[in-house]
Structure 1
Amino acid sequence: MRDGKVIEQPAEQTMLTQRYTEEAVKFIQEKKAAPFFLYFAHTFPHVPMFASSDFKGKSRAGIYGDAVEELDWSVGQVLGALRSEGLAERTLVVFSSDNGPWLIMGDQGGSAGLLRDGKGSTWEGGMRVPGIMWMPGRIRPGVSNQLAGTLDLFPTALALAGAALPEGVTVDGTNLAPVLFEKKELPARPYFYYRGVQLFACRIGEWKVHFKTQTGYGAAQPESHDPPLLFHLGRDPSEKRNVAAENPAVLAEIQQAVKTHEASVVPGESQLK
């Protein structure tokens, strides 16, 4: 669809990655004279999986690998367009994902490696994803293990644009510019893991507490934990060793952060009803 109009039905899914990429490059070329925002959400590697004839059957990982290799090509096209238009040094590019692997899809669902569980869960395998930020000449190459999330992109973009935060609303994110451009440390802050409208877990630093757990797909109801489970993700990224009994002070700190958070939340009207 384009602007609400159907341009092809049924869609030729083998061409989606290529078509999206062509549209993205065209958008950059058309908008290059002024500041612009491009949100580029690929269909793949969500199932059902497809790749164009240029990539199908070319990887060692079947159709999943083919689709990922075509995504790699797509990213290259976008970065190449920014370079050729002289925009690379003043454009922040963010590459990330919305969730972990869809494990029930087997070889086409992806992998979280040593992280526990996958998409749909609040275990690390469901929530932790790669985050890559690129801005030549501004962001020095390197790796950071500081905790950030997509909620941080809004205040970061506003800061780079010299715009003020909106008044009268609570913004959950943090400006990442000091991390990106100065390699400074972010202040410690709690991260809250929701499943639907229920708060399942909370993380501060490398400590993570689970109040409820549920596999991504399968279990009908979540399992509540009293006392909650506590894991040190630096020493136990697979969340296998519950160390709550040995660390009551850490558990109490995170529980207090959750109480403060829940007291400040004003539920919005559901947009799904």
Structure 2
Amino acid sequence: MIKTFLSLGLVSAFFSCTNQTEIKTNTSPPNIILVFADDMGYGDLGSYGATEWETPHLDQLAKDGAKFTQFYVPHAVCTASRAALLTGTYANRLELFGALDHTAKHGLNPEETTIADLLKEKGYTTGMVGKWHLGHLEEFLPTRQGFDSYFGLPYSNDMWPHHPEAKDYYPPLPLMENEKTIDILDEQHQLTTQYTERALDFIDKNKEESFFLYLAHSMPHVPLFVSEKFEGKSRQGLYGDVMMEIDWSMGEIRKKLKDLGLEENTLIIFTSDNGPWLSYGGHAGSTGGLREGKGTSWEGGIRVPAIMTWPGVIPAGTVQDQAAMTIDILPTLAHITQAKLPDLPIDGRNIWPLTQGEKMDHKPYYAYYNQNELQAVMFGKWKLIFPHQYRTIPNDAELSNDGIPVKYDHINLTEPMLFDLVSDPFEQKNVAAENPDILRELEGYAELARQDMGDALTDRTGTGNRKAGRID
């Protein structure tokens, strides 16, 4: 057991330096395509159990590479999850919480190193298509955070005048190119198609050089829209249609890579920013039976599908059941490209061995939510949930299929709960009383996090936190 007087940074360094597998390839560093869905649940792909719609292209992606079955986001909400992905760092360390809207005067600090910054230093051309949500002001846009080009929405697609619970609070929804608004969206039927076309154009333009493409779909976040070519195609309804169009998008990208002869030297990573927004009923996805959803630190909120494919390098058909997290993607890409890690401390580690079907030493992963609440810690097969308030769908709620959400109930969890995620992935049996040593060990890891990043639930201030970028 790791002694709890060690700093979290030393623990991270210990786990990061073990089991480093070399990349068995003679090719140059690959092109990299990172696809991030929005509010897509763990059970929303055929390869993860979906039955009411088909996702053949994403299912094939999983067959061709590594499928992760215990992959996490550290924050079950938009802005925080995206900050963690792009920086390899818990977003609460960066003073980013929740979901920024049009009133925010802050964003991701440009002093932080993003995946795009890291890869630009290695000569990559970098482009982003889709939802940004790390600050809508000019100083915080993707083009100020390492991306050579940008096309998409500055925040969530429901932050517009047609929001069902906040009509006319939000301004018109801007579609941006680089740092300029090029259109105002009053409907979004073509949005996934537009994103896909821009992604294909970026690949075409950069086929002769190494490129990094970050494609952050606005769907299947509500409000749901789908183009005519997929309208009515699924058995489930609109949500299923939207999922089929996202799957089509991946098919178009893989076809483009094959046509250009780039497939063998392109790494594709596909995952989601958090679990489904369950209050939207038929307009929400599936957790695959996991407990709760978006906005909670239960498995349904933070466990997401994750697929990594690089033909001939990542073994086809790999299924990895060891835990990993989106904060691990940046250091893994640094390993693959031999890029220098950021000067400022990060929290992720290189998980390249996991893509090869190997095992690594376990490390603690944390789930933070709200304003810096440490709500859970995971280590190996164990998960400890701390007392906190969480939201849930009322038992008597009448969920609809019209895009109108129901109101949540709020539950006060009053005692720690320990779960064995191998035997009980649905978090039904609290085994804290039977496993006092495990409970103490996970509490020790949590104490490291509280010292380092703070914890509002225990009124702790961390020593390792940094500041968001702000405009006075």
Q: Structure 1 length as normaliser, TM-score? A: 0.93
User: Deviation of residue 155 (structure 1)?
Assistant: 0.5
Superposed, 1:210-225 pairs within 5 Å as 210-213=385-388, 214-215=390-391, 218-219=408-409, 223-225=412-414
Superposed, 1:142-161 pairs within 5 Å as 142-161=318-337
Question: Partner of 1:250 in structure 2?
Answer: 438
Tell me, yes or no, if structure 1 residue 207 matches structure 2 residue 405.
no
User: Deviation of residue 32 (structure 1)?
Assistant: 1.8
AA paired with 1:144?
Q
Tell me the distance in 2 between the aligned counterparts of 1:134 and 1:77.
Answer: 16
Question: Partner of 1:23 in structure 2?
Answer: 198
Distance 1:271-1:236 versus aligned 2 partners, 3 A rule:
farther
Tell me the distance in 1 between the aligned counterparts of 2:447 and 2:303.
Answer: 24
Q: Gaps (5+ residues) in structure 2?
A: 1-175, 393-406, 454-463
Q: Which moved more, 1:170-179 or 1:185-194?
A: 170-179
Give per-residue Cα distances to partners, 1:7-63, cap 9 Å, x unaligned: 222354111111100000110111122221111011111111111111101110101
Tell me, yes or no, if structure 1 residue 191 matches structure 2 residue 365.
yes
Give per-residue Cα distances to partners, 1:155-194, cap 9 Å, x unaligned: 0111111112123x222111122222x3221211011010
Question: Partner of 1:74 in structure 2?
Answer: 249
Whether contact under 8 Å (2:452, 2:465) holds in the other structure is: no
Secondary structure, aligned partner of 1:83: helix
Give per-residue Cα distances to partners, 1:47-101, cap 9 Å, x unaligned: 1111111110111010101110011100011111122222222221111000111
Distance 1:246-1:272 versus aligned 2 partners, 3 A rule:
farther
Secondary structure, aligned partner of 2:414: strand
AA paired with 2:408?
G
Secondary structure, aligned partner of 2:385: strand
Superposed, 1:223-262 pairs within 5 Å as 223-226=412-415, 228-262=416-450
State the identity as a percent.
42
Whether contact under 8 Å (1:201, 1:212) holds in the other structure is: no
Tell me the distance in 2 between the aligned counterparts of 1:211 and 1:64.
Answer: 33
Tell me, yes or no, if structure 1 residue 114 matches structure 2 residue 275.
no
Tell me, yes or no, if structure 1 residue 48 matches structure 2 residue 205.
no
Tell me, yes or no, if structure 1 residue 163 matches structure 2 residue 317.
no
Whether contact under 8 Å (1:55, 1:66) holds in the other structure is: yes
Secondary structure, aligned partner of 1:237: coil
Q: CA RMSD in A?
A: 1.8
Structure possessing the higher relative contact order (Cα contacts under 8 Å, 6 or more residues apart): 2
AA paired with 1:246?
E
- Greater share of helix residues, 1 or 2? 1
Give per-residue Cα distances to partners, 1:201-237, cap 9 Å, x unaligned: 10111111111341267355x73534x1111111111
Tell me, yes or no, if structure 1 residue 84 matches structure 2 residue 272.
no
AA paired with 1:88?
E
Residue-pair matches, total: 269
Tell me the distance in 1 between the aligned counterparts of 2:278 and 2:257.
Answer: 35
Q: Structure 2 length as normaliser, TM-score? A: 0.55
Tell me the distance in 1 between the aligned counterparts of 2:340 and 2:180.
Answer: 36
Whether contact under 8 Å (2:319, 2:357) holds in the other structure is: no
